[in-house]
Amino acid sequence: MFGGRWAEQTLDIVTAMPSRGDTVVGNDVWFGYRATVMPGVRIGDGPIIAAGAMVTTDVPPYTIVGRNPARPIRQRFADADIERLLRAAWWDWPADLVTEHARTIMAGTPADIERIATEHGLDKPL
């Protein structure tokens, strides 16, 4: 029903609708099963989007969100540790450095990750 001529005759209506902007997803984001992100939403670095969540508003870095509509449940880390992780930005490191420090990235502390970034001159100002 919705293919062929129907689509051809309504394409101008669909393309004339206002855009909500790009949907932007940061680094180190985990999406649960059947999570939905609406158009125009910006998701920072490091959030966890719970299974079945309907994300309709922007999600700050390292925040756990869930429900419908999604709302913050809690932060993954303390504010100081979030700043450490954002400055370290391990996802921008060279692949060999990520491989070398994979255990620390997966199981270390934010301070450990920041220390590695600083030692290699890879820490970034916020």
- Residue 7: inside a domain: no
Q: What is the pLDDT of residues 62-109, one digit of tens each?
A: 999 999 999 999 999 999 999 999 999 999 999 999 999 999 999 999
pTM: 0.83
The average pLDDT across 54-66 equals 98
Tokens at 28, concatenated: 């180190």
123 versus 96: which is more confidently predicted? Answer: 96
Per-residue model confidence (pLDDT) at position 1: 53
Per-residue pLDDT, averaged over 10-31, amounts to: 87
pLDDT score recorded for residue 103: 98
Same-domain check for residues 71 and 22: yes
Q: What is the pLDDT of residue 2?
A: 62
Enclosing domain of residue 95:
79-119
Instruction: Give domain status of residue 65, yes or no.
Output: yes
CB 83 within 8 A of CB 62: no
Looking at residue 36, which CATH number applies to its domain?
A: 2.160.10.10
Residues 49 and 91 in one domain: no
Query: What's the pLDDT at 11?
Result: 77
Amino acid at 98: V
Write down the mean pLDDT value for the chain.
94
DSSP codes joined into one string, 21-86: ---EE-SS-EE-TT-EE-TT-EE-SS-EE-TT-EE-S-B-TTEEEETTTTEEEEESS-HHHHHHHH
* CA–CA distance, 77 with 61 (Å, rounded to integer): 10
> Looking at the structure, do residues 26 and 70 belong to the same domain, yes or no?
yes
CA distances for 58 relative to 24, 69, 107, 117, angstroms: 9, 12, 27, 28
> Would 35 be classed as within a structural domain?
yes
Structural domain total, the chain: 2
Q: Nearest to residue 31, comparing CAs of 6, 54, 11?
A: 54
